[in-house]
Amino acid sequence: MGSGHWSTNVYDAARSYRASTGASAFAYSDGGATATHPDLDPKGVTVRESRDSDDHPESLAIAVLFDVTGSMRTVPRTLQTKLPDLLGLLLRKGYVEHPHIMFGAVGDATCDRAPLQVGQFEADNRMDDDLGKILLEGGGGGQMTESYELAMYFMARHTAIDCFEKRGKRGYLFMLGDELAYPKAKRREIEAIIGGGPAEDVPIGDLVRELQRMYDVYFIIPEGSYHAGDPKLRGFWQDLLGQNVLYLDDLDAVCETIALTIGLAEDAIDLEEGLGHLSEVGSDAGASVSRALAPLDAARAPVATSAAPPGLGSAPSATTRL
C-alpha cells in the first residue's frame, strides 16, 4: 500500500459534501456500528505494508495508534479535522518527502468489541477514509490499563516497511493514551483478535525491543486526563521509552506535535523553526507543542555510531537512525 498522493482539494470536497448532506466524517461509528469495520479488522492479517513505488520511491512509514476509550474518543475526530495541517507540515515544509501514514485504534481486549483496529499505510486520501471507518467504542475496562501491548505486537510482527528493510531507516510509531499497557501480550488474546501467534505470552519489554528495531516509538500522554498526573503512569511509560514519552496539554495540538516530532527526528528543523512553521500555517498550537517537545529538543544528541538497537529505559534518540 502507499501509492498516490494526498490532495487537500479532495479532502475539502469531501468535507463540503458531508457538510451539505449532514453526514459525519465518522459515519460508520456514528451510524450505530457495533463491531470493527472489516477494512480495519486485524484478524487474519498477515502484514500491513509500506512499500516503495513509482510515486514514492523512498517511502517513510508513520503509524498513529490511539486509545478510543473514555475521554480519548475525541482524538480521532481531532486528527481527521487536522489531517491537512499534518500533511502540509510534513510535505510542504520538507520534513518528509514520501510519508506513508497508518491510523489505528486501541481498546481493551478483556471487554471491548473492538480492542484493536488497524488501517493501511497510505500516501493519499485513503488515510482519511481509514479514519472514518474507526469504531469510537468509548469502552475500556474501568481499570488503569488498555491493550496497547496488542497494538505493539501487531506493529512488531505484522508490519513490513521498506524504509527499514531496504534502507535501514526506522519508521515512526506514535501511540496516544492515558493508561498503562498490560504487562504481556497474551497468547490467547493474540489468537482471538489477530490470529496465529506465539506459543506463549510475550512480555511488553520484549515487544518494545522488537519495535525499536523498526520504529522510533513515542507515547503521547494528554495532560489533564484522569490518570495523567499519576506517577505510576509516567514511570511505566518512561521505563519503556525514556525521553520518547511526550506530555501534551492540549489534545487539539496532536497533529502539530506529531509533525514537529518527526521534523526534529529527521533533522529537518529545530524546535524554534518548527514553531515558526506553525505560525506560518495559522496554527495556535505553538505553546502546547513547545511545552511537549522542549525536553525532547533539549535531549537531542549526535547521530550514534552503533547500529545496535537500544534497550529498555534507553529509548533511541530522536536523531539516532539505524
- What pLDDT was estimated at residue 32? 92
- What pLDDT was estimated at residue 308? 44
Residue 9: closest CA among 121, 62, 87: 87
- What pLDDT was estimated at residue 307? 46
Residue 28: closest CA among 93, 111, 121, 119: 119
Q: What count of other Cβ atoms lies within 10 Å of the Cβ of residue 305?
A: 6
- What pLDDT was estimated at residue 140? 55
Q: Contact at 8 Å (CB) between 81 and 9?
A: no
DSSP letter for each residue of 164-184: HHHH---EEEEEE-SSEEPSE
- What pLDDT was estimated at residue 312? 55
Q: Using alpha carbons only, how large is the chain's radius of gyration in Å?
A: 18
Q: What is the mean pLDDT of each run of 10 residues along the chain (322 residues)?
A: 86 94 93 95 97 96 91 82 92 95 94 95 95 83 83 98 98 95 97 94 97 97 72 94 94 94 96 96 95 90 48 45 33
- What pLDDT was estimated at residue 251? 87
Residue 148 per-residue DSSP state:
H
- What pLDDT was estimated at residue 127? 95
- What pLDDT was estimated at residue 223? 80
Contacting residues for 253 by C-beta, under 8 A, at least 6 apart: 283, 285, 288, 289, 292
CA angle, 42 then 190 then 64, to 5°: 50
Long-range residue pairs from 24-31, CB within 8 A, at least 24 positions apart, any chain: 25/77, 25/80, 25/81, 25/131, 25/132, 26/76, 26/77, 26/80, 26/131, 26/132, 26/134, 26/136, 27/132, 28/132, 28/133, 28/134, 28/135, 29/134, 29/135, 29/136, 29/137, 30/136
Cell of 225: 486526563
DSSP three-state, residue 297 = helix
- What pLDDT was estimated at residue 138? 72
Q: What is the pLDDT of residues 260-279, one digit of tens each?
A: 999 999 999 999 999 999 99
- What pLDDT was estimated at residue 3? 77
Cα–Cα distances in angstroms (integers) from residue 261 to residues 173, 252, 298, in the given order: 11, 16, 13
- What pLDDT was estimated at residue 225? 62
Fold held by 8-80+96-242: Rossmann fold (3.40.50)
Q: How far apart are alpha carbons 121 and 245 in whole angstroms?
A: 23
